């Protein structure tokens, strides 16, 4: 398996046996619990633990939703955990960290190996946040099976598992199934019936394994300890796609439209093309079928409404979601 190994040893990686007092107590619910786990980082959070999982080959909308959901979860005092895979996992980690919240990863490789390689920087960020967890000894190789078994650890440490996207045989179904077996709530997001990556969440909802959720508040309602009211946000959540805008929220120049119907046609087309992550302006013009001048005017209008923002390098990104 191709990967990138840290050039220096990590003496602060903790090896905990199931008999140790510091062994993560949530893992004891597994039958059998892993006899030994390796931890890097604090792995200490008093609020809810939310696992956000899904497809590696996620759509742009799936990445957008995972990132936004993670941002809103940490704004409500939750920590976000996932498996550091490409796609939904990485987007969830990035969304949480970029919002100043906590995120941790349960790995299918040893802690001293970054896989996939393009997530090496993200893995380093996570090690300084909530932390990294693995059943594999440092220096030992990973196998296809270790990626499947790590999903049971992820389900065990979470208060709720949210499946964003996945095909009918997605690995996220392993995580969801293990969570259900452990009595943890499972949530899933609905998609257009023609979206192939909606197969996994739709199947979970149809089979009664998962509850349909629309936003972070729906997710937190599934956790018994916080049911009836989420924690107060530690950051203003009005710019997040899954947060509820405060009444009377205004931009510097005009009231932000509450729905796409209130936008001019060019503005609505551009807004649909925007994502939470910055995209090149030429890509946006092509996606929205706008000329350069139409794009410039529409982008300015969205900026004034607090719905978009230009970023360095000729890029632009969505700020919040119009309904």
pLDDT of residue 196: 95
Whether residue 19 lies inside any domain: the answer is yes
Please say which residue of 209, 226, 243 terminates a domain: 226
Neighbours of 66 (CB within 10 A): 31
User: Checking DSSP bridges between strand 315-318 and strand 308-311, what pairing results, if any?
Assistant: antiparallel
**Do both 139 and 280 map to the same domain?**
no
Whether residue 68 lies inside any domain: the answer is yes
Tokens of 52: 């956000």
Using alpha carbons, list the distances in angstroms from residue 265 to 6, 271, 300, 315.
51, 10, 14, 21
**Do both 162 and 266 map to the same domain?**
no
**Do both 185 and 314 map to the same domain?**
no
Q: For position 208, which CATH number holds?
A: 3.40.50.450
Report the SS3 class of residue 280. strand
pLDDT of residue 48: 95
Whether residue 136 lies inside any domain: the answer is yes
Whether residue 41 lies inside any domain: the answer is yes
Q: Please give the average pLDDT of every successive group of 10 residues along the chain, which has 323 residues.
A: 45 88 92 93 94 96 94 95 97 96 96 92 96 94 80 95 94 92 95 94 94 95 73 33 29 41 85 90 91 84 83 83 48
Number of compact structural domains in the chain: 2
Please say which residue of 177, 204, 226 terminates a domain: 226
pLDDT of residue 227: 63
Whether residue 115 lies inside any domain: the answer is yes
pLDDT of residue 259: 57
**Do both 192 and 123 map to the same domain?**
yes
**Do both 117 and 19 map to the same domain?**
yes
**Do both 140 and 97 map to the same domain?**
yes
pLDDT digits (tens, 9 = 90+) for 262-287: 788 888 899 999 998 899 999 999 99
Q: For position 307, which CATH number holds?
A: 1.10.10.10
**Do both 199 and 269 map to the same domain?**
no
**Do both 80 and 184 map to the same domain?**
yes
**Do both 130 and 71 map to the same domain?**
yes
**Do both 217 and 294 map to the same domain?**
no
Whether residue 248 lies inside any domain: the answer is no
End-to-end CA distance of the chain: 44
**Do both 27 and 166 map to the same domain?**
yes
Whether residue 310 lies inside any domain: the answer is yes
**Do both 39 and 110 map to the same domain?**
yes
Query: CA angle at residue 320 from 318 to 322, to 5 degrees?
Result: 105
Domain carrying residue 99: 4-226
Whether residue 235 lies inside any domain: the answer is no
């Amino acid at each position: 398996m191709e990967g990138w190994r840290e050039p220096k040893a990590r003496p602060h990686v903790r090896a905990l046996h199931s008999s140790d007092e510091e062994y993560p107590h949530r893992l004891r619910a597994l039958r059998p619990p892993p006899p030994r786990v390796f931890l890097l980082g604090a792995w200490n959070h008093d609020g809810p633990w939310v696992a956000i999982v899904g497809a590696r080959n996620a759509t742009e909308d799936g990445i957008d939703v995972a990132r936004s959901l993670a941002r809103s979860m940490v704004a409500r005092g939750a920590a976000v955990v996932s498996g550091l895979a490409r796609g939904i996992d990485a987007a969830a980690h990035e969304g949480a960290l970029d919002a100043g919240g906590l995120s941790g990863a349960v790995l299918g490789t040893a802690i001293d190996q970054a896989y996939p390689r393009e997530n090496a920087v993200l893995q380093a960020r996570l090690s300084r946040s909530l932390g990294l967890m693995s059943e594999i000894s440092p220096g030992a190789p990973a196998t296809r099976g270790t990626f499947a078994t790590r999903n049971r650890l992820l389900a065990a440490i979470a208060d709720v598992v949210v499946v964003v996207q996945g095909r009918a045989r997605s690995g996220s179904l392993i995580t969801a199934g293990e969570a259900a077996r452990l009595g943890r709530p499972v949530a899933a997001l609905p998609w257009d019936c023609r979206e192939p990556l909606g197969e996994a969440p739709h199947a979970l909802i149809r089979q009664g394994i998962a509850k349909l959720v629309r936003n972070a508040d729906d997710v937190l309602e599934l956790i018994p300890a916080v049911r009836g009211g989420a924690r107060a946000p530690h950051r203003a959540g009005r710019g997040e796609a899954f947060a509820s805008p405060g009444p009377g929220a205004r931009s510097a120049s005009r009231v932000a439209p509450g729905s796409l119907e209130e936008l001019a046609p060019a503005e609505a087309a551009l807004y649909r093309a925007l994502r939470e992550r910055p995209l090149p302006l030429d890509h946006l013009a092509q996606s929205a079928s706008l000329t350069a001048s139409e794009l410039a005017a529409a982008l300015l209008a969205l900026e004034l409404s607090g719905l978009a923002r230009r970023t360095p390098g000729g890029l632009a990104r969505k700020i919040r979601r119009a309904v």
